[in-house]
Amino acid sequence: MFINNHKKYNYNSFIFGSSRTLAFRPNSWRKYLSDNDTPFMFDASLESVYGIYTKLKYLDSTNIAIKNALIILCRDASFIYTANHDGHLYVKHPATSGEGNMAFQCEFFKAYLDPTFLFNFYSYKVLGEYKPFMSGFIEYRKITYDTLTNEINIIDQEAEMTRSPANYYAKRKELFYERKGERIDSVQRITEKHLFMIKEIKRILEKNKTDYKVVLSPLYDQVKFNRSDLSKLKNEFGDNLYDFSGKNSFTDNKMNYYETSHFRPSVGDSILKIIYR
């Protein structure tokens, strides 16, 4: 999508991170950018520092302006991988990974040939409607994306929450477990390979004189970043780092979450107000 559109729209402002970036809408971010800035959402399922680094490296190597950047890091996801990911939901595009297109396409073809997927997909095609047994293979909820910015909106869940918050959370009361207050992650997740990529991210941003912000996600589990990991991030990003992990006004309120993994755009809008204050 980016490769097809960037010459037409001259993107120069980018949001990087996992599916949790859906809370940081490009159209909300525009309020804090110049009138001639054009944002693009570079999210990816279970995105890693590797994915963010290789995207920035791609932009820099192709001489695309990186005027603004918003980077969302997650304690539980950003530091899992140090190389390309496996699986059709996670594998990186050859333009950023530098790996062959054939292997990239094979990941999707293998997923298509999965017998369980084939059964659910063609059951849907024959029946013409969603059935509960198709869960995990057919998405019945409406999700839209903007063909200019790649902004994602979860239509059905947002409408259900707006219509009746009490009913929404009553139906999911087993999902929203009780927290026991803030805990500090005992696991150091940032390895030497991760740290190299973090330093490279900083180098590329500074080389391009990018106005950038790095946000640590407010996750429902209220687990704070490991102290050593947080220190490494602060050493690199300094005042450009904004830590919303652990227990705070965002994570205290379960109504800020679609489920225990993804927080709502209202949270993203509030965070943008804080970091661009």
| Domains parsed from the chain with CATH numbers | 2-84+132-275 (3.40.50)
Distance between CA atoms of 257 and 217, rounded to whole angstroms? 12
pLDDT at position 141, please? 87
Distance between CA atoms of 48 and 40, rounded to whole angstroms? 18
> In a 3-state reduction of DSSP, which class is residue 251?
helix
Q: Which residues contact 249 (CB under 8 A, 6 or more apart)?
A: none
**Comparing C-alpha atoms, which of 226, 231, 210 is closest to residue 64?**
210
Alpha helices by DSSP H, listed for the chain, are 2-9, 26-29, 49-61, 94-97, 101-112, 115-127, 155-163, 165-171, 192-207, 227-237, 249-252, 265-275
Per residue in 209-241, pLDDT tens?
Answer: 999 999 999 999 999 999 999 999 999 999 999
Query: Maximum Cα–Cα distance for the chain, whole Å?
Result: 57
**What single DSSP character describes residue 256?**
G
Q: Is the pTM of this model over 0.85?
A: yes
Q: Looking at the predicted structure, is the pLDDT value of residue 16 above 90?
A: yes
Per residue in 237-262, pLDDT tens?
Answer: 999 999 999 999 999 999 999 999 99
Distance between CA atoms of 147 and 40, rounded to whole angstroms? 10
